[in-house]
Amino acid sequence: MSTEISTKKKSTELSFLALEEGSDVAEAIEANLTGGEVMNEQDLVQVKIPTGGSTTWEFDDITGVVETKTLTGICVYWGAGGLLWPTQEIGGRSTPLLVTSDLVTARKVGDDYGDLDEAMIESFRNPDGSYDWVGLSGTSSSPLGFGSGRNGGKRVDEHRNICLLRESDTFPVMIRVKAGSFSTILPFVKKLPVPFYRAILELSLEKVENQTGQTFSRILPRLAGTLTREQGEVIRSTYTAGLKQTFDR
């Protein structure tokens, strides 16, 4: 298998462990995930978008604390997600009421309706037991009208998940993209010249100010290179398929 990587706007050649000829990565993942297991969200290094307008990524991986201005890797997964929280106490030990992986339908994962109108929520239940996420988020009486929680999070949290496989990684890192970066990320991904799993992305951060004067960090994406079809199929079968199964559950 050819391991040459086509790069754009970059003179240095990138070398990914997962794509090296004779690499043990795919074999190791297949062998070590036993009993029908798949790579799940808890297995991935979670990279949070910094607060306060910081332009530096900071997270812990197996090498220790990582601080970097850019995150570069193969986009092994790209997908939507959303959570509906039953009360204004968002996150922590709370359990969402509804979860969606496509922003079209949702599944119920909690039993506590909190301060939500149970009858209203159940009126959007489909015959197959799923819930009409589009209907819930589009009605004037929807949970979206409840706005933010006490800790600043959104009662209805719609986001995008990006999983990046860096050069020396066996497992990718995961970035949960919030609404503040939708204006830069969504049009960028739509315009990619290859399927996302063949794209090498470089993610940096910029400091921006919202209409109320609060500063936050917004992701600036760049296409750093592309993979061949053959390499893309290795990535799709080794990573993307399993991650899609995980996030779609």
Say whether pLDDT at 159 is over 80. Answer: yes
Say whether pLDDT at 12 is over 50. Answer: no
Say whether pLDDT at 232 is over 80. Answer: yes
Q: In the predicted model, what is the mean pLDDT of the chain?
A: 85
Say whether pLDDT at 143 is over 60. Answer: no
Say whether pLDDT at 10 is over 60. Answer: no
Residue closest to 165 by CA, chosen among 101, 113, 100, 242? 242
* CA–CA dist 243, 101 (Å, integer): 12
Here the tokens at position 112 are: 């506590």
Residue closest to 75 by CA, chosen among 243, 212, 247, 219? 243
Alpha-carbon 57 to chain mean position: 16
Q: Are 225 and 5 in contact (CB under 8 A)?
A: yes
Question: pLDDT digit string (tens) for 22-81?
Answer: 777 777 776 776 656 667 777 899 999 998 899 999 999 888 999 999 999 999 999 999
Q: Read off the pLDDT band of 89 (50, 70, 90).
A: confident
User: Whole-model pTM?
Assistant: 0.83
As a whole number, mean pLDDT of residues 71-92 equals 88
Q: Are 227 and 200 in contact (CB under 8 A)?
A: yes
As a whole number, mean pLDDT of residues 166-177 equals 92
Question: pLDDT digit string (tens) for 108-133?
Answer: 999 999 988 899 899 999 999 999 99
Q: Is 223 helix (H, G, I), strand (E, B) or coil?
A: strand
* CA–CA dist 244, 209 (Å, integer): 34
Q: Read off the pLDDT band of 6 (50, 70, 90).
A: very low
**Backbone torsions φ then ψ of 88, nearest 5 degrees:** -80, -5
Beta bridge partners of 57: 68
Show me where the domains of the chain are located. 6-79+161-248, 86-146
In this structure, what DSSP letter does residue 43 have?
G
